[in-house]
Structure 1
Amino acid sequence: MLHLLQNFLSFTQTPHSGYHWDGGERRFFEGWYYRVTLPRENQTFAFMYSIEDPVGRKPHSGGAAQILGPNDEYLWRTFPDVNKFWAKSDVLALGHWGKTNIESQPLYLLPVEFESYIKEGYQATATLNQGTIHNPSNGDYCQWQYEIQPVYYWGNRGSIQQSTAGWISFLQIFEPGWQILMAHGLASGWIDWNGKRYEFTNAPAYSEKNWGGAFPQKWFWLNCNSFDSEADLALTAGGGRRGVLWWMESVAMIGLHYQGKFYEFVPWNSEVSWNIEPWGKWEMHARNSQYEVTLIGTTDLPGTPLRAPTENGLIFACRDTMQGKLTLELRELNAVESKTILKATSDLCGLETGGGPWDSSWLND
């Protein structure tokens, strides 16, 4: 039975689902992002977990949990003891214990055990996200527990799943690495945000991760799986300047899951262009031999500064909103003319710019 389960996981989970640290001394970070969108409330919760220099005794050693909550409100908590962090190298499973009276090494707990014994901390897998953190200076807190039913990972349904950055991402050439773990899923459970309890069933959910020993200089990101009148649609797009051996390159990609099919626009199969303002407007276009896609994301909101692992530790390095507006158009190409397959809109799109400098628009065409 265990053998069958391992075979199933190896087929369905994405590459890079496991923890990447090799136990070495070099500068290293790994970060995970879980999100659940509540269309009825017009709100989104994003949970960001990170660990830096897990070998310990380094200037930036430690972990953290950040939450971008209703109306882009922000809550975070550090977990400085790297020995209270755990993660699996072969599957998506991780956690960090803060306040607890358990003396044993940290490990996955049944949800009811976690709730009883872990007074501050989190644990997350491919099918669960659970935790509790609070700000002792003002009393703000969040407690959450929800189960996840994956719908799309990263690739065609029923096929072996793909690396977001292609096969070469298995080599330590591109850093940091980036992997969408679950492009779309259905979450059921609850979140308690400062005394307001949100209960939900089959809410759109998403997860991704990044890792490595180097850090991007500048980046942007668009993500949405809660569209008007399109329940079976998920978008993730982004780009950045990253290290490749001894030089820097600018790359971007767009990935769509729609009605069971994966539409992938990446540098090795498509032309991808973008025009990203420092804040307020994100435009992307991509074209390959069969399809083309256009994205326009906008926001009038100021966004919320978020911390990100950098060469100088976990510091404010990006700005996000989970209430961006998005228009998306996907077209099929043929010898005569293009045919529109899909037009979709949303008011619950995640938008981000990070790093810098952002003195002017970033145009790549």
Structure 2
Amino acid sequence: MSGAPFLSVLRDRWRATGADLPGGNPLLSHRAPMEGYLWRFTDQARGRVLVVACGVNDHPDQPWGTVVVAAHPDRLMRSASVDGAHASTTGYEISAPPVFSLSKGLLHARLGEDIDIRCSLDPVHTWPQRRLLHGSGVFSVVPGLNHYWHPHLFDARVTGTARLAQETWNLSDCHVYAEKSWGRGFPRAWWWGQAHGFDRPDLCVAFAGGLLGRGRATVNVSGLTLNMGSRMLSLVPPTALVRARVRDGSWRISGRTPRYEVDLIGDAAGSQALPLPVPLLQPHHFGHSLQHLAGQLRVRVRRDGKEIYTGSSALAALETGTL
């Protein structure tokens, strides 16, 4: 076997463990048991939020997928599971026919007769290419973990519409966030959040955490990402100290590096959580998470001991889940 094909085989085998080599592209399918993709559209002016998620499970007998659409303020939620879902190993392309497709920046989700989302996404703020590691930090190169996380899109120009039951939304005024997660399945317990909708339109915040590992080696791990225009902060252990306390409708996440301090305080604000389906590894079997589509999230950022931003959003996603 010549050098190039041999290295390609080694790379593919490495990625099949869930890990990425430094500088690799985590958006390509790892062929992991679970590959999950999420897009979140925030229309701050109208107080609306739209979530589209697609999961691809690479089951040895029959690959299958799950598509979820949820919207605020109507508390709309639709989902479907189908056989034959596929995520590409060579490009950022996903298909779960006949309910979902993403190719060349064109997203289409159709669930039944009353949900039809069609839009194009032109990225504006993304995960910097100069970063050799993705959103899981040094854990991104560690093989065999049960869950990896990568927030990769912090805003985009959107062209398109979403037909949601009796309403049709123009998505062109939305801020867009997108992420990918993958691995052997969801953690036994997890927490997650994301927000646009601050007084700084270029501010995007996301955090994720859960119980990772096996048996006595299980640990509580959290990370957060904050993007302000051309500046992106990624706070993930061990290069940052990140602590999370999530309970009783409250999310408190703090991250510290030698230069930066980021504090996030999330509050369900009396809203009722939506139960969203979470695919398990067995085909067409599900758990669920509880997600507030429009909670309150307060953000404080300090650099070298000086406060550089404090603000809040009333359109934050705040989620917990257990399996």
Question: Deviation string for 1:291-337 (max 9, x for gaps)?
Answer: 1011111111111011112355642321012211111010112xxxx
1:239 aligns with 2:239: no
Question: What is the SS of the residue equivalent to 2:174?
Answer: strand
Would you say 1:76 and 2:49 are equivalent positions? no
Give, in whole Å, the separation in 1 of the partners of 2:306 and 2:318.
28
- Structure with larger Rg: 1
The DSSP-based 3-state class of the residue aligned with 1:169 is helix
Quote how far apart the aligned CAs of 1:126 are: 6.3
For residue 14 of structure 1, report the CA deviation from its aligned partner: 7.5
User: Any residues of structure 2 matched to 1:335-354 within 5 Å, and which?
Assistant: 338-354=305-321
1:169-188, aligned counterparts within 5 Å?
Answer: 169-188=140-159
| Distance of 1:39 and 1:48 partners within structure 2 | 20
**Are the aligned partners of 2:191 and 2:320 in contact in 1 as well (CA < 8 Å)?**
yes
Rounded Cα–Cα distance in structure 2 between residues aligned with 1:350 and 1:220: 11
Change over 3 Å in CA distance of 1:263–1:53 after alignment to 2: closer
Decide which of 63, 66, 69 is 1:67's aligned counterpart: 69
Cα distance, 1:240–1:68 mapped onto 2, change above 3 Å = same
What is the aligned residue count? Answer: 298
Task: Specify the alignment match of 1:252 in structure 2.
Answer: 222
Give the Cα separation in 1 of the matches to 2:271 and 2:140: 35
Match of 1:39 in 2: 44
- Give the share of equivalent positions with the same residue, in percent: 20
Measured on the aligned residues, the alpha-carbon RMSD in Å equals 2.2
Structure 2 residue aligned with 1:362: none
Provide the secondary structure at the position in 2 that maps to 1:208: strand
CA pair 97-321 structure 1, distance change in 2 beyond 3 A:
same
What stretches of structure 1 of length at least 5 have no aligned partner? 1-12, 23-27, 99-120, 357-365
Contact 1:292–1:330, Cα closer than 8 Å, also in 2: yes
1:46-76 deviations in whole A, cap 9, x for unaligned?
A: 111112244335xxx5222111123232111
TM-score by length of 1: 0.76
- Work out whether residues 15 and 162 of structure 1, in 8 Å CA contact, stay in contact via their aligned partners in 2: no
Q: Classify the secondary structure of the residue corresponding to 1:215.
A: coil
Taking the aligned partners of 2:293 and 2:157, their CA distance within structure 1 comes to 18
Q: CA deviation at 1:160?
A: 4.3
What runs of 5+ residues in structure 2 fail to find an aligned partner? 1-22
1:124-145 CA distance string (max 9 Å, x none): 14622112112xxxx6x21011
Deviations 1:136-185 (A, max 9, x none): xxx6x210111112122224xx6346411124424423222211121222
* 8 A contact 1:47–1:68 mirrored in 2: yes
Counterparts of 1:297 and 1:264, CA distance in 2: 19
